[in-house]
Structure 1
Amino acid sequence: MFLMSNSTTHPDYFKAKEVFSSELKNANYQFVQEKEETLFRFRSENAGKDRILDCFGIIRNYIENYRIYNFEDGYISIQALNENLFEPQKNLSGKFRIRFSFKSDLKVECSKHGDFSTKEIQTCVSLFHFLKSEGSEPKDPRILLHQLGAEVYDPNLEKAKGNDLGFDSVFGYEGVKSQILESLVFPILKPEPFYEITKLTRKKPSPNLPRAVLFEGEPGVGKTSMAKIVSHLCGVPMVYVPVESILSKYYGESSQNLAMVFDAAALFPKCMLFLDEIDSLATSREDGLFEATRNLLSVLLRKLDGFSERSGTITIGATNRKADLDSALLSRFDRKIYFPLPNKEERSKILEGYAKQLDSKDRTRLAESLEGASGRNLKDYCDYVERRWITKNWEKEDLLSAPGISFYLDSLTDFGWKR
């Protein structure tokens, strides 16, 4: 690869042509000027839509800021941005643009009114070498998803570290556990019987496995923890997608980020895609939506339909505002599982995990005082009590003795909990 400075200088058309000729030698590409626009074009029979995911990392090596300004089936356009500059969508004059067309073989066109800068020439050459290369290593979806801001939770790696999860990790929620076994664990572990029974019950046998499940409930009731448990029980990776990794200030980029997450997750033979705070991505259209939000919802619906057709993959959405979700999105989830706040007995069992020194009677008394608390609230409260206990006994020899029930009860007010 040629070495060029990272300056923003603009070699004229003839100097740029010499660089391309030197770097790409006898390769099949086109570099021309048409109506004051500089164009670099090439095709690749070795690359399709999936490899475009890798291209975004290559582009970012040379062009730090860019946005998607056109995204539809078979066509993606990217526009470079000035530092901290967001311009109207139609103001493309003087901007470096890259168009990917992948309806058949992949076509790439880099264009700009005026001359390319050195960074833009580097981008063209790097894309050409990458997309024209043959026999490349299989893509690791973990790397692609990390670049998109998603996290891959691998239960096998966690087990190797000694971190194994099961239903015994969550106290109570027996009804929820039963629904999760029925809707997620058994169908993922052994889908064959679910297909076979339709031969006995239906005129035309058809798939009956849920492909999208909605977890609903207040914050802190264990929706994400339960998804990790399913990942462990089934031995499949969980792709965790926080909402902030999707949303972008640039027009069209949020929709593109979401589509690319689905495409990258589909590279796993089996996986669970966990969309946290899905209500932030797709609120009801009855409330009126901005165009960018409408596009995001449209992509989500389309990708859920496509993702659900793949055997061995399932989408889990999590929300604490089910009423705000679009009706079309709700219809895509063929099972909804409600996570209630823990009752008194369940709160007592949860407290046993964080305050084992208390006897059953004291834990029940404390659980009564913490009515309405979620599992996360209970852990946060016990964390606070332990820190407060250490601080209160800093100068004492029995610093590391465990606090009793009276200290837990006395700490409720300072914690901000109304008894």
Structure 2
Amino acid sequence: MLLIAAAVAMLIANSSWHAPVESFWETPLRLSFGASGLELTLREWISDGLMAIFFLLVGLEIKSELLVGELSSLRSASLPLAAALGGMLVPALIYHAFNRGTAGAPGWAIPTATDIAFALGVLALLGSRVPPALTVFLAALAIADDLGAVLVISLFYGHAPDVHYLLRAAAVFGVLVAANLAGVAWVSIYALLGVALWYCVLQSGVHSTVAGVLLALTVPARSRIDPARFEAEARNQLDDFAIATGEDHRPVLSNGRQQQALAAIETAVEDLQPPLARLRHLLHVPVNFWIMSLFALANAGVALSSNASGNSGPSLVSPVSIGVAFGLILGKPIGITIAVWMATRLGATLPTGATWPTVFGVACLAGIGFTMSLFISGLAFPDVALLAQAKLGIVIASVVAGVVGASVVWFSAAPTKTSPSASADDADA
């Protein structure tokens, strides 16, 4: 869906539909709350509103990795953290070298990003040639990279803060933390408070997507009951269900005892499943298939030549385009590979089944910046011309990084035999 949306956006940007579609995205939409209200363009509702949900999912993934994943201990986190740091620092330096002292200088963070969905999607296409540990490494690397992107956005791409709304946001965040500590497990409560947090953060001048990450940090990762209690409750209810089936052969719809047993099992499942896992599962499909695709449709289009509206296309040899493209295509693999090499010299080990060529291939795949890079470019460049140059560099670099990375992994990795394994349960938080 994301790839299709990006292709459609590019086709529209280079057709006679560019002007009317652009006008559509700039249509203002106002939501009123009594005497007050909030008015944003459709594109802003997507970038500031729906993308906050995307960052909520990112935050949930980060929290999960910190609790039970590859980032849960210093030993296991050292390699992906080092890789993420190298994969952000070198691209930023390359971009800075081309744009130092120019109007394009604020875009230094654009090539530091990795599109985790695209990168993992390309790696998944290679099937059994990819060692499972290498996929886990890329996921951990991308999540650590996302954490860095969140910090960069919050520190460097906000506006002058409004202290009053910052205090209100802090108060709402405090209520969310209190709800977590009190053991509140209703996802709807966190969702309602999350909307209030988003509004306050948006009005404060800090970028609104930070609210998504802050909300994720407060969503409980602990179960309300332990597995033993769940197993006992489920067995009791299944026994009742079986008895009801033997005594009454009516359909479930009209069998009250069966429905009561099913409802009790459903409640037990909800009590066992941590709210973090439940919310992450709930958001996965709408975020990865719809929100990201809608964002790409609204933001990925870039005119490659003069179009019907009279706008000339961006130059591929502009400092911004070159800085972004070289940062993603060269900076990512160089920075990640050097950082991984240094980490192994200090005692870290490569992922099981990985070789240096496959690590380099994965590092190339990390150069698929796409969604995250497009998002940061929109924050960095209010100027339309500079934004178009950045988009061109992002699109070209993401395609090249995907093709090169997939090719390197394909030709350097032998098919592996995989065996099914149980996924780890979320730990208490």
Structure 2-normalised TM-score? 0.27
With CA pairs under 8 Å and 6+ residues apart, which has the higher RCO, 1 or 2?
2
- The higher radius of gyration belongs to 1
Higher helix share: 2
Higher strand share: 1
